[in-house]
Protein backbone atom coordinates (compact mmCIF):
# COMPACT_ATOMS: atom_id res chain seq x y z
CA UNK A 1 0.00 0.00 0.00
CA UNK A 2 1.33 3.43 -0.89
CA UNK A 3 1.91 6.01 1.83
CA UNK A 4 2.63 5.50 5.46
CA UNK A 5 0.64 3.25 7.71
CA UNK A 6 -1.26 5.29 10.24
CA UNK A 7 -0.04 3.78 13.49
CA UNK A 8 -2.44 4.66 16.29
CA UNK A 9 -2.33 1.63 18.52
CA UNK A 10 -1.37 2.64 22.05
CA UNK A 11 2.04 1.07 21.66
CA UNK A 12 4.23 0.52 19.87
CA UNK A 13 4.01 4.21 19.07
CA UNK A 14 5.57 6.16 16.25
CA UNK A 15 9.35 6.41 16.56
CA UNK A 16 10.70 9.87 15.66
CA UNK A 17 13.17 9.92 12.77
CA UNK A 18 15.81 11.32 15.12
CA UNK A 19 15.49 8.26 17.33
CA UNK A 20 15.45 5.90 14.34
CA UNK A 21 18.67 7.44 13.07
CA UNK A 22 20.30 7.26 16.49
CA UNK A 23 19.72 3.50 16.55
CA UNK A 24 21.55 2.82 13.28
CA UNK A 25 24.93 2.09 14.82
CA UNK A 26 27.61 -0.52 14.35
CA UNK A 27 27.85 -3.02 17.20
CA UNK A 28 30.54 -2.34 19.74
CA UNK A 29 32.16 -3.85 22.78
CA UNK A 30 29.84 -3.39 25.73
CA UNK A 31 32.81 -3.87 28.09
CA UNK A 32 34.94 -1.14 26.53
CA UNK A 33 36.05 1.89 28.55
CA UNK A 34 33.89 4.05 26.24
CA UNK A 35 30.63 2.27 26.99
CA UNK A 36 29.80 3.53 30.53
CA UNK A 37 29.08 7.07 29.28
CA UNK A 38 26.08 5.73 27.34
CA UNK A 39 24.73 3.80 30.32
CA UNK A 40 25.08 6.84 32.56
CA UNK A 41 23.36 9.19 30.09
CA UNK A 42 20.40 6.80 29.87
CA UNK A 43 20.06 6.18 33.62
CA UNK A 44 20.56 9.84 34.57
CA UNK A 45 18.07 10.96 31.93
CA UNK A 46 15.53 8.48 33.26
CA UNK A 47 15.74 9.94 36.77
CA UNK A 48 14.26 13.16 35.40
CA UNK A 49 11.49 11.26 33.64
CA UNK A 50 10.63 9.29 36.79
CA UNK A 51 10.92 12.52 38.83
CA UNK A 52 13.26 10.98 41.34
CA UNK A 53 16.49 11.91 43.04
CA UNK A 54 16.52 8.99 45.47
CA UNK A 55 15.35 5.92 43.53
CA UNK A 56 17.35 3.82 41.07
CA UNK A 57 16.32 3.34 37.43
CA UNK A 58 17.12 0.04 35.71
CA UNK A 59 16.94 -1.08 32.09
CA UNK A 60 16.26 -4.74 31.41
CA UNK A 61 16.32 -6.28 27.95
CA UNK A 62 12.62 -7.16 28.07
CA UNK A 63 9.26 -5.57 27.50
CA UNK A 64 7.28 -3.92 30.29
CA UNK A 65 5.91 -7.29 31.40
CA UNK A 66 9.42 -8.34 32.40
CA UNK A 67 9.56 -5.43 34.84
CA UNK A 68 6.35 -6.64 36.54
CA UNK A 69 8.08 -9.96 37.07
CA UNK A 70 11.22 -8.20 38.28
CA UNK A 71 9.25 -6.20 40.87
CA UNK A 72 7.43 -9.24 42.24
CA UNK A 73 10.47 -11.53 42.22
CA UNK A 74 12.94 -9.08 43.72
CA UNK A 75 10.89 -7.67 46.58
CA UNK A 76 8.60 -10.47 47.81
CA UNK A 77 8.73 -13.95 49.27
CA UNK A 78 6.79 -17.09 48.26
CA UNK A 79 3.17 -16.89 49.41
CA UNK A 80 3.24 -13.17 50.26
CA UNK A 81 -0.05 -11.33 49.93
CA UNK A 82 -0.52 -8.55 47.37
CA UNK A 83 -3.44 -6.13 47.03
CA UNK A 84 -4.42 -5.16 43.50
CA UNK A 85 -7.36 -3.59 41.66
CA UNK A 86 -8.53 -5.13 38.39
CA UNK A 87 -10.30 -2.86 35.92
CA UNK A 88 -8.96 -3.82 32.50
CA UNK A 89 -6.81 -6.27 30.58
CA UNK A 90 -3.46 -4.99 31.82
CA UNK A 91 -4.36 -4.89 35.49
CA UNK A 92 -5.86 -8.37 34.88
CA UNK A 93 -2.59 -9.68 33.43
CA UNK A 94 -0.71 -8.35 36.44
CA UNK A 95 -3.12 -10.21 38.75
CA UNK A 96 -2.62 -13.32 36.62
CA UNK A 97 1.15 -13.06 36.96
CA UNK A 98 0.85 -12.74 40.75
CA UNK A 99 -1.17 -15.97 40.84
CA UNK A 100 1.26 -17.78 38.57
CA UNK A 101 4.25 -16.72 40.67
CA UNK A 102 2.56 -18.18 43.74
CA UNK A 103 1.47 -15.09 45.64
CA UNK A 104 -1.74 -14.75 47.61
CA UNK A 105 -3.75 -12.17 45.72
CA UNK A 106 -6.44 -9.93 47.18
CA UNK A 107 -8.25 -8.52 44.14
CA UNK A 108 -10.44 -5.41 44.20
CA UNK A 109 -12.78 -6.15 41.29
CA UNK A 110 -13.96 -3.02 39.49
CA UNK A 111 -16.03 -2.39 36.44
CA UNK A 112 -13.98 -1.96 33.29
CA UNK A 113 -13.98 1.77 32.65
CA UNK A 114 -13.49 2.67 36.31
CA UNK A 115 -10.22 3.66 37.92
CA UNK A 116 -8.43 2.60 41.09
CA UNK A 117 -11.01 2.50 43.93
CA UNK A 118 -9.28 4.59 46.58
CA UNK A 119 -11.76 3.94 49.40
CA UNK A 120 -11.62 0.20 48.83
CA UNK A 121 -7.82 0.22 48.82
CA UNK A 122 -7.94 2.11 52.11
CA UNK A 123 -10.54 -0.23 53.63
CA UNK A 124 -8.53 -3.33 52.65
CA UNK A 125 -5.37 -1.84 54.12
CA UNK A 126 -7.12 -0.77 57.31
CA UNK A 127 -8.52 -4.29 57.73
CA UNK A 128 -5.05 -5.80 57.38
CA UNK A 129 -3.92 -5.02 60.92
CA UNK A 130 -1.42 -7.92 60.85
CA UNK A 131 0.26 -6.32 57.80
CA UNK A 132 0.09 -9.48 55.73
CA UNK A 133 -0.17 -7.40 52.55
CA UNK A 134 3.40 -6.89 51.37
CA UNK A 135 2.73 -4.98 48.16
CA UNK A 136 -0.01 -2.74 46.81
CA UNK A 137 -0.29 -2.82 43.03
CA UNK A 138 -1.92 -0.17 40.86
CA UNK A 139 -2.06 0.36 37.11
CA UNK A 140 -1.58 4.09 36.55
CA UNK A 141 -2.99 4.10 33.04
CA UNK A 142 -5.18 1.12 32.07
CA UNK A 143 -4.50 0.96 28.35
CA UNK A 144 -7.39 -1.40 27.57
CA UNK A 145 -10.05 1.06 28.72
CA UNK A 146 -8.27 4.44 28.53
CA UNK A 147 -8.47 5.03 32.26
CA UNK A 148 -5.94 6.97 34.34
CA UNK A 149 -5.95 6.38 38.09
CA UNK A 150 -4.96 8.56 41.01
CA UNK A 151 -1.70 7.04 42.22
CA UNK A 152 -1.18 9.85 44.73
CA UNK A 153 -4.57 8.87 46.17
CA UNK A 154 -3.46 5.26 46.60
CA UNK A 155 -0.37 6.52 48.43
CA UNK A 156 -2.61 8.66 50.66
CA UNK A 157 -4.74 5.58 51.45
CA UNK A 158 -1.58 3.70 52.45
CA UNK A 159 -0.32 6.56 54.60
CA UNK A 160 -3.73 7.12 56.21
CA UNK A 161 -3.68 3.54 57.47
CA UNK A 162 0.01 3.60 58.33
CA UNK A 163 0.45 0.50 56.20
CA UNK A 164 4.08 -0.45 55.49
CA UNK A 165 3.47 -2.38 52.21
CA UNK A 166 5.48 -1.54 49.11
CA UNK A 167 3.73 0.42 46.35
CA UNK A 168 4.19 -0.98 42.81
CA UNK A 169 2.89 1.10 39.91
CA UNK A 170 2.46 0.04 36.28
CA UNK A 171 3.22 3.18 34.29
CA UNK A 172 3.84 1.41 30.98
CA UNK A 173 1.43 3.63 29.03
CA UNK A 174 1.79 6.78 31.13
CA UNK A 175 5.49 7.37 31.77
CA UNK A 176 6.76 10.36 29.76
CA UNK A 177 3.20 11.23 28.68
CA UNK A 178 1.16 11.75 31.86
CA UNK A 179 2.62 13.21 35.05
CA UNK A 180 4.23 10.51 37.18
CA UNK A 181 6.10 11.26 40.41
CA UNK A 182 8.25 8.54 41.87
CA UNK A 183 9.46 10.54 44.89
CA UNK A 184 6.38 12.65 45.68
CA UNK A 185 4.10 9.61 45.62
CA UNK A 186 6.67 7.42 47.41
CA UNK A 187 6.38 4.75 44.73
CA UNK A 188 8.57 1.73 45.47
CA UNK A 189 8.70 0.19 42.02
CA UNK A 190 7.56 1.86 38.81
CA UNK A 191 7.27 -0.47 35.84
CA UNK A 192 7.41 0.76 32.25
CA UNK A 193 8.66 -0.07 28.78
CA UNK A 194 10.31 1.62 25.83
CA UNK A 195 7.59 1.45 23.17
CA UNK A 196 4.96 3.86 24.45
CA UNK A 197 5.66 7.34 25.80
CA UNK A 198 9.38 6.89 25.32
CA UNK A 199 8.84 6.70 21.53
CA UNK A 200 11.06 3.67 21.00
CA UNK A 201 10.75 0.14 19.68
CA UNK A 202 9.79 -2.49 22.25
CA UNK A 203 12.70 -4.26 23.88
CA UNK A 204 13.73 -2.23 26.91
CA UNK A 205 12.04 -2.83 30.23
CA UNK A 206 12.26 0.55 31.95
CA UNK A 207 11.84 0.49 35.70
CA UNK A 208 12.69 2.48 38.80
CA UNK A 209 13.19 1.11 42.31
CA UNK A 210 13.11 2.90 45.65
CA UNK A 211 15.66 2.44 48.43
CA UNK A 212 12.94 0.75 50.49
CA UNK A 213 12.34 -1.82 47.73
CA UNK A 214 16.07 -2.44 47.31
CA UNK A 215 16.29 -2.93 51.04
CA UNK A 216 13.50 -5.53 50.83
CA UNK A 217 15.45 -7.26 48.05
CA UNK A 218 18.59 -7.36 50.20
CA UNK A 219 17.05 -8.25 53.54
CA UNK A 220 13.68 -9.98 53.40
CA UNK A 221 12.77 -11.18 49.89
CA UNK A 222 13.05 -14.93 49.34
CA UNK A 223 11.41 -15.27 45.93
CA UNK A 224 13.92 -16.81 43.48
CA UNK A 225 15.29 -14.25 41.02
CA UNK A 226 18.19 -14.45 38.62
CA UNK A 227 17.98 -12.72 35.23
CA UNK A 228 16.01 -9.80 36.70
CA UNK A 229 18.07 -9.47 39.88
CA UNK A 230 18.18 -5.79 40.89
CA UNK A 231 21.37 -6.33 42.85
CA UNK A 232 23.33 -7.80 39.93
CA UNK A 233 22.09 -4.94 37.77
CA UNK A 234 22.91 -2.29 40.36
CA UNK A 235 26.39 -3.68 40.94
CA UNK A 236 27.23 -3.53 37.23
CA UNK A 237 25.40 -0.26 36.50
CA UNK A 238 27.41 1.45 39.22
CA UNK A 239 30.40 1.25 36.86
CA UNK A 240 28.37 1.84 33.72
CA UNK A 241 28.06 -1.80 32.67
CA UNK A 242 25.39 -4.52 32.52
CA UNK A 243 25.47 -8.07 33.90
CA UNK A 244 24.81 -9.38 30.37
CA UNK A 245 24.80 -8.06 26.83
CA UNK A 246 22.56 -4.97 26.62
CA UNK A 247 20.64 -4.10 23.42
CA UNK A 248 23.03 -1.38 22.26
CA UNK A 249 20.95 0.25 19.51
CA UNK A 250 18.04 0.62 21.94
CA UNK A 251 20.29 2.41 24.42
CA UNK A 252 21.38 4.86 21.71
CA UNK A 253 17.75 5.34 20.79
CA UNK A 254 16.75 5.91 24.40
CA UNK A 255 19.48 8.52 24.85
CA UNK A 256 18.04 10.39 21.86
CA UNK A 257 14.42 10.11 23.01
CA UNK A 258 15.41 11.35 26.47
CA UNK A 259 17.16 14.31 24.82
CA UNK A 260 13.99 15.09 22.85
CA UNK A 261 11.86 14.96 25.99
CA UNK A 262 14.29 17.27 27.78
CA UNK A 263 14.32 19.71 24.86
CA UNK A 264 10.53 19.93 24.80
CA UNK A 265 10.37 19.97 28.60
CA UNK A 266 8.57 17.22 30.48
CA UNK A 267 5.76 19.53 31.64
CA UNK A 268 5.22 20.66 28.04
CA UNK A 269 5.10 17.02 26.99
CA UNK A 270 2.31 16.38 29.52
CA UNK A 271 0.46 19.52 28.38
CA UNK A 272 0.70 18.44 24.76
CA UNK A 273 -0.72 15.02 25.58
CA UNK A 274 -3.65 16.57 27.47
CA UNK A 275 -4.33 18.99 24.64
CA UNK A 276 -4.20 16.31 21.94
CA UNK A 277 -6.38 13.96 24.00
CA UNK A 278 -8.94 16.75 24.37
CA UNK A 279 -9.26 16.96 20.58
CA UNK A 280 -9.70 13.20 20.22
CA UNK A 281 -12.41 13.16 22.90
CA UNK A 282 -14.13 16.10 21.21
CA UNK A 283 -14.24 14.05 17.99
CA UNK A 284 -15.68 11.03 19.82
CA UNK A 285 -18.22 12.81 22.01
CA UNK A 286 -19.23 15.98 20.19
CA UNK A 287 -18.47 14.87 16.64
CA UNK A 288 -19.60 11.25 16.53
CA UNK A 289 -21.98 11.34 19.49
CA UNK A 290 -20.26 8.30 20.98
CA UNK A 291 -18.72 7.74 24.40
CA UNK A 292 -15.32 6.69 25.66
CA UNK A 293 -15.03 3.63 27.88
CA UNK A 294 -13.73 5.64 30.88
CA UNK A 295 -16.82 6.21 33.00
CA UNK A 296 -15.94 9.59 34.50
CA UNK A 297 -13.93 12.60 33.31
CA UNK A 298 -11.56 12.22 36.30
CA UNK A 299 -10.40 8.94 34.70
CA UNK A 300 -10.05 10.12 31.07
CA UNK A 301 -6.67 9.08 29.79
CA UNK A 302 -4.43 11.53 27.97
CA UNK A 303 -2.63 8.72 26.14
CA UNK A 304 -5.38 6.43 24.82
CA UNK A 305 -9.12 6.67 24.20
CA UNK A 306 -11.28 3.55 23.97
CA UNK A 307 -14.25 4.43 21.77
CA UNK A 308 -17.44 2.52 22.58
CA UNK A 309 -19.35 1.62 19.41
CA UNK A 310 -23.17 1.42 19.48
CA UNK A 311 -24.68 -1.87 20.68
CA UNK A 312 -25.10 -4.27 17.77
CA UNK A 313 -21.92 -3.04 16.03
CA UNK A 314 -18.77 -5.13 16.11
CA UNK A 315 -15.83 -2.81 16.76
CA UNK A 316 -13.51 -5.48 15.32
CA UNK A 317 -15.12 -4.88 11.90
CA UNK A 318 -14.36 -1.17 12.13
CA UNK A 319 -10.73 -1.93 13.00
CA UNK A 320 -10.46 -4.44 10.15
CA UNK A 321 -12.00 -2.01 7.67
CA UNK A 322 -9.71 0.81 8.82
CA UNK A 323 -6.64 -1.36 8.25
CA UNK A 324 -7.59 -2.98 4.96
CA UNK A 325 -9.12 0.02 3.24
CA UNK A 326 -7.29 2.98 4.76
CA UNK A 327 -3.99 1.54 6.00
CA UNK A 328 -4.85 2.74 9.49
CA UNK A 329 -4.00 0.75 12.61
CA UNK A 330 -6.45 1.29 15.47
CA UNK A 331 -6.16 -0.53 18.80
CA UNK A 332 -8.37 -3.58 19.30
CA UNK A 333 -10.77 -4.11 22.18
CA UNK A 334 -9.18 -6.61 24.52
CA UNK A 335 -10.87 -9.42 26.43
CA UNK A 336 -14.08 -8.16 28.12
CA UNK A 337 -14.38 -5.17 25.79
CA UNK A 338 -13.47 -7.08 22.59
CA UNK A 339 -15.89 -6.01 19.85
CA UNK A 340 -17.23 -3.22 22.03
CA UNK A 341 -14.47 -0.66 21.65
CA UNK A 342 -11.71 0.39 19.31
CA UNK A 343 -8.84 2.40 20.68
CA UNK A 344 -6.98 5.44 19.43
CA UNK A 345 -3.52 5.83 20.89
CA UNK A 346 -2.50 9.48 21.20
CA UNK A 347 0.84 9.22 22.92
CA UNK A 348 4.48 9.67 22.15
CA UNK A 349 5.60 11.51 19.03
CA UNK A 350 2.23 12.87 18.03
CA UNK A 351 0.58 16.09 16.86
CA UNK A 352 -2.80 17.39 15.69
CA UNK A 353 -2.50 16.48 12.05
CA UNK A 354 -1.21 12.99 12.74
CA UNK A 355 -4.31 12.50 14.88
CA UNK A 356 -6.48 13.86 12.05
CA UNK A 357 -5.39 10.75 10.14
CA UNK A 358 -6.69 8.55 12.95
CA UNK A 359 -9.91 10.51 13.43
CA UNK A 360 -10.65 10.87 9.71
CA UNK A 361 -9.84 7.22 9.03
CA UNK A 362 -11.84 5.88 11.97
CA UNK A 363 -14.73 8.05 10.84
CA UNK A 364 -14.67 6.63 7.30
CA UNK A 365 -14.32 3.06 8.56
CA UNK A 366 -17.32 3.50 10.89
CA UNK A 367 -19.44 4.96 8.09
CA UNK A 368 -18.39 2.06 5.84
CA UNK A 369 -19.55 -0.34 8.57
CA UNK A 370 -22.99 1.28 8.61
CA UNK A 371 -22.71 3.46 11.72
CA UNK A 372 -24.82 6.61 11.57
CA UNK A 373 -21.90 9.02 11.59
CA UNK A 374 -21.85 12.27 9.65
CA UNK A 375 -18.77 12.52 7.39
CA UNK A 376 -16.35 15.07 8.80
CA UNK A 377 -18.13 15.37 12.14
CA UNK A 378 -15.25 14.06 14.24
CA UNK A 379 -12.65 15.96 12.24
CA UNK A 380 -14.65 19.19 12.66
CA UNK A 381 -15.04 18.73 16.41
CA UNK A 382 -11.32 18.06 16.83
CA UNK A 383 -10.50 21.13 14.72
CA UNK A 384 -12.74 23.29 16.87
CA UNK A 385 -11.17 21.93 20.05
CA UNK A 386 -7.59 22.41 18.99
CA UNK A 387 -8.20 25.85 17.49
CA UNK A 388 -9.90 26.97 20.71
CA UNK A 389 -7.09 25.64 22.92
CA UNK A 390 -4.04 26.96 21.11
CA UNK A 391 -2.55 28.26 24.36
CA UNK A 392 -2.26 24.67 25.60
CA UNK A 393 -0.53 23.48 22.45
CA UNK A 394 2.95 24.36 23.69
CA UNK A 395 5.66 22.01 22.78
CA UNK A 396 4.10 20.24 19.79
CA UNK A 397 7.04 18.33 18.35
CA UNK A 398 8.39 18.50 14.86
CA UNK A 399 9.28 14.85 15.21
CA UNK A 400 12.22 15.13 12.85
Q: Which residues of this chain interact with ligand PLP, rule CB under 6 A?
A: 11, 63-65, 90, 139, 141, 143, 170, 172-173, 193, 202
Least distance in angstroms from the C-beta of 202 to ligand PLP: 6
Least distance in angstroms from the C-beta of 227 to ligand PLP: 15
For 98-130, letters b (16+ CB in 10 Å) and e give: beebebebbbbebebbbbbbbeebbebbeebee
Beta carbon nearer to ligand PLP, 63 or 383? 63
Beta carbon nearer to ligand PLP, 13 or 210? 13
DSSP 3-state of 205:
strand
Beta carbon nearer to ligand PLP, 106 or 141? 141
Q: How far is CA 337 from the centre of its chain?
A: 19
Beta carbon nearer to ligand PLP, 139 or 161? 139
Contacts 24+ apart (CB under 8 A), 270-273: 270/177, 270/178, 270/179, 270/302, 271/392, 271/394, 271/395, 272/350, 272/393, 272/394, 272/395, 272/396, 272/397, 273/177, 273/178, 273/302, 273/303, 273/346, 273/347, 273/350
Least distance in angstroms from the C-beta of 59 to ligand PLP: 13
Strands 205-209 and 56-60: antiparallel
Least distance in angstroms from the C-beta of 139 to ligand PLP: 5
Beta carbon nearer to ligand PLP, 63 or 305? 63
Least distance in angstroms from the C-beta of 10 to ligand PLP: 6
Q: How far apart are CA 205 and CA 191, in angstroms?
A: 8
Contact 144, 88 (CB under 8 A): yes
Beta carbon nearer to ligand PLP, 108 or 123? 108
Least distance in angstroms from the C-beta of 175 to ligand PLP: 10
Does 343 count as an annotated binding residue? yes
Element (H or E) spanning 377, and its range? Answer: helix 377-388
Q: Which residue from 339, 330, 334 is spatially nearest to 378, judged by alpha carbons? A: 330
Which residues are annotated binding-site positions?
Answer: 343
- Cite the annotated binding site for substrate by residue number: 343
Amino acid sequence: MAGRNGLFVPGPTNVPDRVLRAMVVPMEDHRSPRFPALTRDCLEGLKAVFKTSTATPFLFPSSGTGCWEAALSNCLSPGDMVLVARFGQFSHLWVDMCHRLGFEVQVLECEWGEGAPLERYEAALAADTAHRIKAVLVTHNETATGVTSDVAGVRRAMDATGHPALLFVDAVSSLASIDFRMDDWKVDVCVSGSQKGLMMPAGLGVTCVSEKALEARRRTARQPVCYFDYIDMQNQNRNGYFPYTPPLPLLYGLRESLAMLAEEGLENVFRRHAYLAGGVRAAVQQGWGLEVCAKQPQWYSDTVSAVVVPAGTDAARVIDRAFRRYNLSLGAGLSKVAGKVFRIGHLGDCNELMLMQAIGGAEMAMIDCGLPIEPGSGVAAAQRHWRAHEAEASGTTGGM
